[in-house]
């Protein structure tokens, strides 16, 4: 079966999910650098829809597993925190001599706190759940879109069968 209607429907579903994820993240206050918003993408290949987002999207939505070995953290993680802090206008505290501590030391402290406690105090150190909210709120609409397209493709195939 060629499935042209299904491919079109999957593109429609991809656009829908992309828009809903962007809005869901925005509604929960996940907008610092804009990287998360820009990262929501989709691709349809051979009747398969694949969704993409920044690696940390799931961590923001579901939270992070607390880690007993919280003193170790990756450089990528601390660099991400530094980018986030700068975008939010967060600066390191001053030391005893009145100089600013480094962004690196601030990011390390934040990374350790995230590993020890979780990701965000405002969500009870769990995730915001924006991905699950999008799933719940779009499930019926997606089902209708896909069911309609599949039905059209089958009916087109039946019409071709008559011609044989």
Mean pLDDT by 10 residues, the chain (164 residues): 85 96 91 88 93 87 70 76 85 75 85 77 75 95 96 88 62
Kindly report the pTM of this predicted structure: 0.72
pLDDT for 2: 64
pLDDT for 64: 73
Q: How many CB atoms lie within 10 A of CB 17?
A: 21
Instruction: Kindly give, in sequence order, each residue whose CB lies less than 8 Å from that of residue 154, ignoring residues fewer than 6 positions away.
Output: 1
Q: How far apart are CA 103 and CA 81, in angstroms?
A: 9
């Amino acid at each position: 079966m060629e499935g042209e209607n299904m491919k079109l429907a999957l593109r429609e579903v991809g656009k829908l999910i992309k828009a809903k994820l962007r809005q869901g993240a925005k509604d929960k206050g996940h907008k610092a650098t804009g990287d998360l918003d820009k990262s929501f993408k989709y691709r349809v290949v051979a009747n398969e829809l694949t969704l993409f987002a920044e690696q940390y999207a799931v961590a923001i939505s579901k939270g992070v597993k607390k880690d007993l070995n919280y003193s170790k953290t990756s450089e990528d993680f601390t660099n991400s925190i530094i980018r986030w802090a700068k975008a939010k206008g967060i600066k390191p505290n001053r030391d005893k001599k009145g100089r600013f501590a480094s962004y690196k030391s601030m990011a390390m402290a934040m990374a350790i706190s995230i590993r020890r406690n979780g990701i965000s105090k405002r969500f009870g150190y769990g995730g915001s759940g924006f991905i699950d909210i999008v799933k719940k709120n779009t499930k019926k609409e997606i089902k209708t879109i896909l069911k309609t397209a599949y039905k059209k493709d089958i009916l087109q195939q039946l019409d071709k069968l008559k011609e044989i």
